[in-house]
């Protein structure tokens, strides 16, 4: 990552967090390096980086070489794994909800509405009124609109939050027993991509990402149970 020489910095306003992130960019550090050094945390760092890129203050220091082209292809593979993995998780949760309440129950319709709204919030290019879930082509086309330096972090954070929200919904409406069942199904889904692309899955910490979704929802469950 490097600062952009084209921007007139005296005309740009930024938050304190964005300034802290900008100060870490020296033309040699990668995005993971900056996240590790950042004092404001991963989410705020990625958000700040995104805003700095959009504002023209930051640009990628890399050049399009055959080596970089391999990275681009690798990114598509990872995104396809993420898409398949989380799509399967959402399907498992939906199946459990439908099995318990029935597809004619108003509660099931609320669940579908929550699911569609999740895509609308995290991936605004989708039409939640048309498709229950996007195809990979739609997913990938929308993801490519995110600046490349923050793309993977943005996508993984969004999917993690969306899955966590779905599990929390199951708990609130169907109780802790069904939540545990849904969480168990989610945990099992990581075995398939691990078998296919173990090295990539480990390198991008996809298993950790999925586990974080369950942990976030589990913390909410414990807080609610503790308060009741």
pLDDT value of residue 70: 42
Residue 170 near residue 96 (C-beta atoms within 8 A): yes
pLDDT value of residue 93: 87
Full-prediction pTM beyond 0.75? no
What's the rounded Cα separation, in Å, for the pair 75 and 136?
14
pLDDT value of residue 32: 78
Mean pLDDT for each 10-residue chunk of the chain (228 residues)? 52 79 82 82 79 77 50 77 84 86 77 67 57 70 86 88 88 90 87 72 85 90 76
pLDDT value of residue 196: 64
pLDDT value of residue 176: 92
pLDDT value of residue 183: 92
Residue 92 near residue 186 (C-beta atoms within 8 A): yes
pLDDT value of residue 4: 52
Sign of the four-CA dihedral 196, 146, 112, 211:
positive
Residue 54 near residue 147 (C-beta atoms within 8 A): yes
Residue ranges covered by each domain of the chain: 2-59, 66-227
What's the rounded Cα separation, in Å, for the pair 8 and 163?
41
Partners of 58 in beta bridges: 3
**What is the token pair recorded at 35?**
């996240």
Partners of 2 in beta bridges: 59
């Amino acid at each position: 990552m490097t600062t952009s020489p084209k921007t007139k910095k005296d005309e740009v306003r930024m938050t304190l967090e964005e300034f802290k992130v900008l100060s870490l960019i020296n033309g040699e550090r990668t995005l993971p390096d900056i996240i590790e050094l950042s004092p404001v945390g991963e989410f705020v760092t990625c958000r700040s980086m995104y805003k700095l890129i959009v504002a023209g203050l930051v640009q990628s220091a890399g050049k399009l070489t055959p080596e970089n082209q391999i990275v681009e292809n690798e990114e598509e593979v990872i995104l396809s794994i993420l898409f398949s993995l989380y799509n399967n998780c959402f399907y498992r949760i939906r199946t459990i909800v439908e099995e318990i309440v029935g597809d004619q129950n108003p509660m099931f319709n609320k669940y579908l509405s929550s699911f569609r709204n999740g895509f609308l919030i995290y991936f605004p290019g989708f039409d939640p009124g048309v498709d229950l879930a996007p195809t990979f082509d739609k997913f990938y086309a929308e993801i490519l609109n995110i600046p490349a330096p923050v793309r993977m972090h943005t996508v993984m954070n969004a999917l993690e939050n969306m899955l966590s929200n779905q599990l929390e919904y199951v708990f609130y409406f169907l109780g802790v027993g069904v939540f545990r069942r849904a969480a168990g199904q989610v945990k099992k889904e990581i075995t398939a991509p691990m078998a296919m692309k173990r090295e990539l899955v480990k390198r991008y910490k996809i298993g950790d990402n999925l586990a974080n979704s369950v942990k976030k929802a589990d913390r909410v469950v414990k807080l609610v149970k503790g308060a009741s």
